[in-house]
Chain A
Amino acid sequence: MYEDVFRELYKNKVRYIVVGGIAVNLYGVPRMTADLDLMVDLEKENVLKLVNILRSLAYVPKIPENPENLANQEKREEWKKKNMKAFTFWNTKKPYKQIDILIENIMDFDEAYNRREKVKAEGFEIYLASIDDLIEIKRKSGRKQDLCDIEALKKVRDLRTM
């Protein structure tokens, strides 16, 4: 699931961190999820690199918008006014795959990126928000599954310090 995406993001040095259920799963919680939630460096060049990679892997926007507008701050401001939180891409070959790009970063990206967890896979790395950042993000979201994620992540943290 999303291995091709992670591989390309790594190869092309895209600055991102995984912040949703996939991150919780990769930390070691056997939790189901389908969406890949990404917080990215919203600097134009980085966003355009990401958009091109997603396009090459058969991901298209869920809304009728030019995906390159994601790199445009004015556009993002416009979307925020419409209560949009993320720009969603879905995969035309496997429609259950959906990638949400946060249009406003919920914490300072550079700081979160510096604290990121690097998960080593065969030939690439996956960047996750640190456990503490993930807990903080989930605390802000506050849905039932986020509270369950927090409890599970605390268990992961305990196990890692044992």
Chain B
Amino acid sequence: MRYRSLKKGKGFAYYVTKEQIREYMKLSPELKLKWLEEANEFIWKYGKNKEIREKFREGEI
């Protein structure tokens, strides 16, 4: 999955393949919510560091 930031206030763009969706659909709702929780907690803790934030967004972390 690739995320791309747009100009400030313009949101973001992303792309996911059918295969990525197929895999993610297999997770239970609890696991999907947990994935979101962990990702958001990570961004909240370390998101002020631009390098880490960008690496996370690009899927490198």
Chain A interface (Cβ < 8 Å from any Cβ of B) = 1-3, 22, 25-34, 94-97, 119-122, 126, 143-146, 148, 151-152, 155-156, 158-159
Contacts and interface: CB of A to CB of B under 8 A. Distances in A.
Contact of B24 (A2, A29, A145): A29
A122 B21 contact: no
Nearest to B18: A155
Contact of A1 (B13, B14, B24, B36): B36
Contacts of B24: 28-30
Q: Please name the 4 residue pairs, one residue from A and one from B, whose CB atoms are nearest each other, closest first.
A: A28-B25, A1-B37, A1-B36, A30-B24
A95 B44 contact: yes
Interface class of chain A by DSSP: mixed
B27 to A, nearest CB: 8
Contact of B20 (A30, A120, A144): A30
The interface residues of chain B, by DSSP majority, are classed as: helix
* Category for how many chain B residues contact A: 20 to 34
Which of B3, B6, B15, B37 has most chain A Cβ within 10 Å? Answer: B37
B37 A145 contact: no
Given A1-B36, A96-B41, A31 B14 contact: yes
Contacts of A144: 6, 10-13
B33 A159 contact: no
